[in-house]
Amino acid sequence: MDVRIPKKMKAVVCHGPHDYRLEEIPVPQVGDGDVLVKVKACGICAGDVKSRAGASMFWGDEIQPPYNKPPVVAGHEFFGTVVALGKGAKEKHGLDIGDTVTAEQIVPCGKCRFCRNGSYWMCEVHNIHGFQREVADGGMAEYVRLSDRDIIHKVPESITGYNGAIIEPLACAVHSVERAQIRFGDVVVIGGLGPIGLLKLQLARLKNPGLLIGIDLREKRLELGKELGADIVLNPLEDDVKQRVMEVTDGYGCDVYIHNTGNPKGVIQGLQILRKLGTFVEFSVFTEPTTVDWSIIGDRKELNIYGAHLSPYTYPIAIDFLAKGLVKGEPIITHSFPLEQWEEAFTMAEEGTESIKVVLVP
């Protein structure tokens, strides 16, 4: 195949909150163990939108600095074709020129306590494509360099169109749903039907719950939730969610609540509608702190509260489910834009009224 690689490329570069720019930058050089990938598409994540908006972490009254370390090429939901392999990369990653690949969003340091005990997704250094440049840039560019520390997965031909860009969020969704330990017959509620919520909904369906309920504020997303397997969809702007959930659970509440909205109201809603001894999985990134009476968790309901972060060991499952059509990416990827229209694409992803998942196509 023809693998002529230009010297320069277009990329969406994050220079800090509120300062993303389309730039022409050098195509990265491959060093030992590196892989150069020509990007086919890169999804815009809620994390990208929040990074651009300057999202910080709250720790009591103390606000942590933004999590991106500029300058860095944005984007972690990318896939593409291998066009160059550094020395030893073919053996190290088991790849050939022309393979279609994606890489896990985190590039583990391999040295910290978490990496060494196998909990690489919680790596203390925490370099993620598109947020921290120390090891590698992101995929909102014509090319992305993957390092020898990257965890690279082949994308089979049966994953068509831009569906390769949904592997990362799907892998995260798999982890969240696994954390929920859904049992046959459970009443499962998915709070928030954005891209990741709709993926979790499809995955939760595969667990054969007794009843699958989706909650969102937008009618379009609720309709799609029904199409993708929800038995009941509820809109808190119109429905009394607590009352409806109690009606269908003989007044006990749901067994499992998986939360994705990033809105404190969604947390409180979950704590209200869960039954005693129920399970709450939190995946969201918030832009403000949540205030709630914690006695609900212990004294009142003895809940299981599980966090979920990234996608440990779940990329192969995500790829397999997409390849087999057990999870559908087409209804989720609603819009694609060329890199030049990144700003329009980000705005559309942020508003989320028209779109579910927006991808950039170099």
* Interface contacts to Zn ion, rule CB under 5 A: 45, 109, 112, 115, 123
Token couple for 87? 């020395």
Nearer to Zn ion, 11 or 45 (CB): 45
The closest of 64, 51, 45, 56 to 14, measured between CA atoms, is 51
Max CA distance (Å), the chain:
65
Nearer to Zn ion by Cβ, of 120 and 257: the residue is 120
Please, what is the minimum distance in Å from the beta carbon of residue 149 to Zn ion? 9
Taking the complex as a whole, the smallest distance from the CB of residue 244 to Zn ion amounts, in Å, to 31
Residue 124 beta carbon to Zn ion: minimum distance, rounded to whole angstroms: 5
The tokens for 150 are 């990257």
Angle at 172 between CA 233 and CA 287, to 5 degrees: 75
Name residue 8's amino acid: K
97 or 112, CB closer to Zn ion?
A: 112
Beta carbon nearer to Zn ion, 109 or 233: 109
Tokens of 93: 């990653």
Q: Judged by CB, which is closer to Zn ion: 43, or 253? A: 43
DSSP 141: B
Nearer to Zn ion, 12 or 233 (CB): 12
Which CB, 130 or 278, lies closer to Zn ion?
A: 130
Closest CA to 128 of 92, 162, 172, 186: 172
Q: Closest approach of Cβ 295 to Zn ion, in Å?
A: 34
Q: What are the distances in angstroms from CA 91 to CA 33, 88, 145, 176?
A: 9, 6, 17, 32
* Min CB(143)–Zn ion separation in Å: 20
Closest separation in Å from C-beta 310 to Zn ion? 9
| Least spacing, CB of residue 130 vs Zn ion, in Å | 9
DSSP letters, 321-359, are: HHHHTSS--TTTEEEEEEGGGHHHHHHHHHH-SS-SEEE
CB of 257 to Zn ion, least distance (A): 21
- In terms of CB distance, is 176 or 269 closer to Zn ion? 176
- Which residues sit opposite 335 in a β-bridge? 358
CB of 77 to Zn ion, least distance (A): 5
Distances (CA, A) of 259 to 126, 198, 202, 308: 23, 12, 15, 10
- Pick 115 or 136: Cβ nearer Zn ion: 115
Pinpoint the alpha helices (H) of the chain.
46-52, 89-93, 113-116, 167-179, 195-206, 219-227, 241-247, 264-273, 315-324, 342-351
Instruction: Please answer whether residues 40 and 100 qualify as being in contact, where contact means their C-beta atoms are separated by less than 8 angstroms.
Output: yes
